[in-house]
Structure 1
């Protein structure tokens, strides 16, 4: 999705997402006992003990609240039976935080984010949209060369629960193809636009070999609240295992670029290790 279309698209789905948020709460988008195509229930943590739930995440009109209640201690290639909820945090030892950036790559903002990450020798995750990636393959290659994880964020950033299965498959598979053609390997992670998942998207994602990842801390940088506000949201939400959501495209992301330069050294000074999942 190009920049002007992406920004307009975000505004136009606000009411739809709000309605879907209510539906999700009622169980329309997520059912813990949803069977896989083969009839098996979603996998539970291998330990057999209940995993600790993450901290509550505030809902917003733009993003549906991530529905993850737990996360297995090990991460492996997704195969049916599939997950019924996305990961939203990582249970790793130590003070680890995962930084993620959605909607790019954008030649106006992504290079600045890559430069800051390179300066501090840390890696992040970039969930790219296919129609942005296909026009900016050099930035995809730079992400991979710097050690970042490149994930799938669909082709055109649609509201997935409003699409038929064939469209969902096309959105995910086309983007995976661009990533694989450019980097030599298909993505292992994907994220639903607006955080709006459904059973079909989990099934298709698993068939494509990808795990679903949501987030714990939403900077809401898409609203352009000001650099200082973005910095405060990251630092206030920081704790071991959280996944931070930011953007490097989809509008004017100059505040996001500037905020990273401020909160990244702050996180490092506080003893946090910025990491990415490896599997």
Structure 2
């Protein structure tokens, strides 16, 4: 079975990537329930942050409409976030990437073109996706990201090796409100409000209409702050 996905036969790398994708759901559920967040060790992605803290991560930007609204929202609540940026979108909107950085947020690498399933790509393509995004982001903001998130959270030993080869820390998530599906503001709020110390929250500012995400965070951010949670960035000093 050597055909690429969609070419009539399904390749073994594709099947392996899909199987791992579903296994990771169980690991994320375990991390959601545990009191000891997995901080990553080179062989596994970061799934949590230490202390009485949470990390807000925002994927798939920058976007000319939703990223500025997200930045304004974060500024109003004095919340620092991590933006995992797609290299091709940084090339289209370098000023927005700089604005994210200048506002004090951490910028991470989310691949050049967000192909999926990411773990099914051959090693040379994996390196190219990550490396090209590094260069685009560095051109825009003036430094190389330290963190990488695989598109769709689609990890594999090969993806982790490529990440390590480029000197990056792999970061996953703990709390996923599936805001990219636009499930409704109430559902996004309910899911994010269940966050506990150590959790990494996943949201999006690109890839579609993110008005529900912005509206939900208007409620969630002050709610979590009122519970005494601090917003930090994952593995920033590693």
> How would you bin the TM-score normalised by the shorter chain?
0.7 to 0.9
Pick one of 85, 89, 99 that aligns with 1:132.
Answer: 89
> Runs of 5+ in structure 2 lacking a partner?
1-12, 25-29
**1:61 aligned partner:** none
Q: Distance in 2 between matches of 1:204 and 1:185?
A: 20
Match among 16, 36, 44 for residue 85 of structure 1: 44
Structure-2-length-normalised TM-score? 0.84
- 1:241 and 2:185 correspond: no
RMSD over aligned Cα atoms: 2.4
Secondary structure, counterpart of 2:84 in structure 1 = strand
1:192 matched residue in structure 2: 150
Measured in 2, the distance between the counterparts of 1:256 and 1:267 equals 16
Higher helix fraction: Structure 1 or Structure 2? Answer: 2
Find the partner of 1:143 among 80, 83, 100. Answer: 100
* C-alpha displacement of 1:191: 0.4
Distance 1:17 1:163, change over 3 A: closer
SS across alignment from 1:261: helix
Could you say which residue in structure 1 is the equivalent of 2:213? 256
- CA deviation map 1:121-175 (0-9, x unaligned): 1100000111111111111111111111100000111122221111111100010
SS at match of 2:89: helix
Query: Where does residue 54 of structure 1 map in the other structure?
Result: 31
Runs of 4+, deviation exceeding 2 Å: 16-27, 53-57, 69-72
Q: Secondary structure at the match of 2:61?
A: coil
TM-score (norm. length: structure 1): 0.72
> Match of 2:6?
none
Q: CA deviation at 1:201?
A: 1.6
* 2:182 is the alignment partner of 1:205: no
CA distance in 2, matches of 1:88, 1:128: 19
